[in-house]
Amino acid sequence: MAFYFEEPSRTFNEYLLVPGHTPADCVPAAVSLKTPLVKYRKGEEECPLSLNVPMVSAIMAAVSDDNMAVALATEGGLSFIYGNQSIEDEAAMVARVKDYKAGFVVSDANLSPDMTLADVVELKERYGHSTMPVTDDGSATGKLLGIVTSRDYRLSRMSLDLKVAEFMTPRERLIVAPASTSLKVANDIIWDNKLNSLPIVDEDDHLISLVFRKDYDSHKSNPLEMLDDHKRYLVGAGINSRDYAERVPALVEAGADVLCIDSSEGYSDWQKFTIEWVRERYGNDVKIGAGNVVDREGFRFLAEAGADFIKVGIGGGSICITRETKGIGRGQATAVIEVAKARDEYFAETGVYVPICSDGGIVYDHHISLALAMGSDFVMLGRYFARFDESPSAKVMVNGTYMKEYWGEGSARARNWGRYDLGGKKSLSFEEGVDSYVPYAGSLKDNMAVTLLKLKSTMCNCGALTIPEFQDKAKLTLVSATSIVEGGAHDVMLKDKNTFASKA
């Protein structure tokens, strides 16, 4: 006879937080959102890899490319570059994130003196850089002859056939620094000489790299940036349980800081085999998350297999139709609550804390607060990030409103058979996701600022200044269908929509 759970499967919308005492010093500005990303042992001073804000972007082609990774890392979160692409393309995206802000940047847009203004324009359009070194052979490591910036030319007054040598700033007028220069000294030189960039050269005057003023400014204005020991952005990457023997080495070589198995269901031997292969090849040096699971047994299976973090949730994503297609899944709130208890039990037994990530089921900003209060260490978001300028999908006009395209990895458009691997043929015979639109919302930075302020304010309402304290002090109550309606605007005429909000 089948096993039956006594309690119904519940979603975030069925819960509310009950406010607690708010001390005078508990204000949003004092709240820390730092949270562990990977497992650590009891007694260790700190987690080897933590997030500054508890938000990561989903492993989806419509969400997480290198542009999203840079934008999210700037704000304190982390992206997992989507794995539903060639190994070479995914590794290249990871490498671009790591090279984007390395302090010492190897130039990818370079000129030779015989190139023309037309070449400058073409390179600027391709790479987005206005600063381009001029070397004898046009390479990133050639002998430095000069530099071209946007101040060296005016398209309205100059011919596109003009040679670079005729308008570049020549080497003798450049301030440069030797290869032994530290990043701190390089920044001091930039500030003392009011430079926008500083070329780093070897003893033979060959270009090695560039240091940019904007990188220093960016760090000062974004104190939560996710940076590695070399001041490069942190980035994750998705893998599957099929080609990991080829994909993982390429991603590690490209600089990926953490990997995650992208799968609709994680309680499987295929995930165990993948984790075991990574451990045999790299030990604990390569961090790898796994999932998704929805109960205690699934968590224990992946924790014992060696996962560094575990994702929770099946069928709750806005573009996921696994539940209606296969009848598989569980309400996200119920899943998070049970898995969080299993994580705490495992920690008490073994001394190893394995973070959990709530993936799916988040419709409103306050659902993030609920997921964290219920025990999630961080949340993975797809629809939320797909709405922004930085997502890779197209912005289109639909019925007079700007929208962004958004499709599931189980849709016919994605055809991501690797995510639904059950050991059979490499094909997607039926859909578990849809192709859709989401309302365009503007920039990631502006929207995240509002979301994080809501989260911090909620934590203060519960008297908490950290996520662990929030989880310890949170009081949650189930709500009735009537009280859910009561929680929104009702029995008034909304001015901006000219509609009547009723609680009936």
Known catalytic residues?
A: 320, 419
Reduced to 3 states (helix: H, G, I; strand: E, B; else coil), residue 312 is strand
> Phi-psi region for residue 43, left (φ > 0), alpha (ψ -120 to 50) or beta?
left
**Tokens (6 digits) for 292:** 């998704």
15 Cβ contact partners less than 8 Å away, ≥ 6 residues apart = 333, 370, 374, 476, 477, 478, 479
DSSP state of 261: E
d(CA 232, CA 73): 10
Q: Which residues is 378 bridged to in the sheet?
A: 357
Task: Write down the number of H helices and E strands in the chain.
Answer: 15, 25
Query: Which of 148, 127, 124, 146 lies closest to 135 in space, CA to CA?
Result: 146
Cα-flanking dihedrals φ and ψ of residue 215, to 5°? -65, -40
**Tokens (6 digits) for 37:** 């990303």
Query: Which of 281, 202, 226, 180 lies closest to 80 in space, CA to CA?
Result: 226
For residue 292, is the peptide bond before it cis, meaning its omega torsion is within 30 degrees of 0? yes
Within 240-305, strands assigned E span: 258-261, 288-293
Label residues 332-365 b or e (16+ Cβ within 10 Å = b): bbbbbbbbbebbeebbeeeeebbbbbbbbbbeeb
- Are the beta carbons of 361 and 317 closer than 8 angstroms? yes
Secondary structure of the chain: what % helix, strand, coil (to 5)?
Answer: 35, 20, 45
Q: Which residue's entry shows tokens 């490591």?
A: 141
Q: Which residue's entry shows tokens 């979160």?
A: 77
- Evaluated on CA atoms 226, 193, 154, 167, the torsion sign reads negative
Q: Crossing angle, helix 365-373 and helix 332-350, to 10 degrees? A: 30
